[in-house]
Amino acid sequence: MNKLHLFKPSFRQQRTLELSKVLLKQNRFQTTWKTKVAKLAKSKPRIYSPGGSHSLFSEEIGKSLATRIPMAIILLYCLNHEEYSPIPFAFDFMAGPSMLPTIFPAGDCYLRLKPWFLSVFHKNDTDVFKVGDIIVFKDFRGGYACKRICGMEGDIICIHGEYVDLYKNEPDLGIREVPNIERDAWKTNVVSENGKSTMIIPKGNIWVEGDNPLHSIDSRHYGPISKQKILGKVSYRIWPRRRMHVKDDFCFMNRNRPVPLSEDEMFGKKYNVYKIPFTK
């Protein structure tokens, strides 16, 4: 019987065979990768920058952004809208001396809870806001104002304010004349007796005043406001966290109305309010 002799390659031949297999695999990979890149370039042409130096993003991404950006703008508008926003709170930056010494006129940041969120914790809508609460509402000009509730519907109030006795020496009882305000339009239900003018707050309305009456435009000028104009209750001061020069300073809003400041107490470095000398 003839013996079968198997071919046994030499070391050099075996090494050459292994290298050829490796090169063949690399060539196939490079060919496949180049083919995919070529197909991608044909199917998704690039959008180039105005300078033409480099590509920014594919046309497909550009079309996607063209639809997503307007939708994002609409979504942000709805989130920031007072009536349609699902966010139960808002951040307000206060300015003006009308709420001194409770709220400083230096642009402090406060947390405001919206009416629909507050109504979740109350069975009746009449219990959402109470006397002493500090609220933000739309005033007669359509702008935002921050005052304290001093009377609810059905309450009898003095139209000259709670602290009218402090301003007996003032010719206008502390109510500064403000132009372009119809002050007599709401005074049909005012009753004058013993030198004191009072009225009953109509249903669905509240009476608001600033903690600094001499420098506040409030219900003493434009009368009661509707509850529908309330935008929320100021409940917490976010910034500054602490006022070192103020005694018994708290971030939570106090429902007790403070005694108004005098002219000497208000002006100065403490509240950062200064009187500008009158010049002709």
Which residues are the active-site residues? 98, 147
Q: Cα 76 from chain centroid? A: 12
d(CA 71, CA 183): 45
Tell me which H or E stretch contains 57. strand 55-58
User: Would you state the structure tokens that stand for residue 277, as one six-digit string?
Assistant: 């000398």
Residues 6+ apart with CB under 8 A from 46: 55, 58, 59
SS3 label, residue 1: coil
**How far is residue 89 from each of residues 94, 206, 232, 234, measured CA to CA in Å?**
16, 22, 8, 10
Q: Give the residue from 259, 262, 254, 157 showing the smallest Cα distance to 208.
A: 157
Q: Give the residue from 63, 67, 29 showing the smallest Cα distance to 45.
A: 63
| Contact in structure between 112 and 90 (CB atoms under 8 Å) | yes
d(CA 85, CA 113): 12
d(CA 156, CA 163): 15
| Contact in structure between 253 and 247 (CB atoms under 8 Å) | no
Q: Which residues pair with 191 in a beta bridge?
A: 198
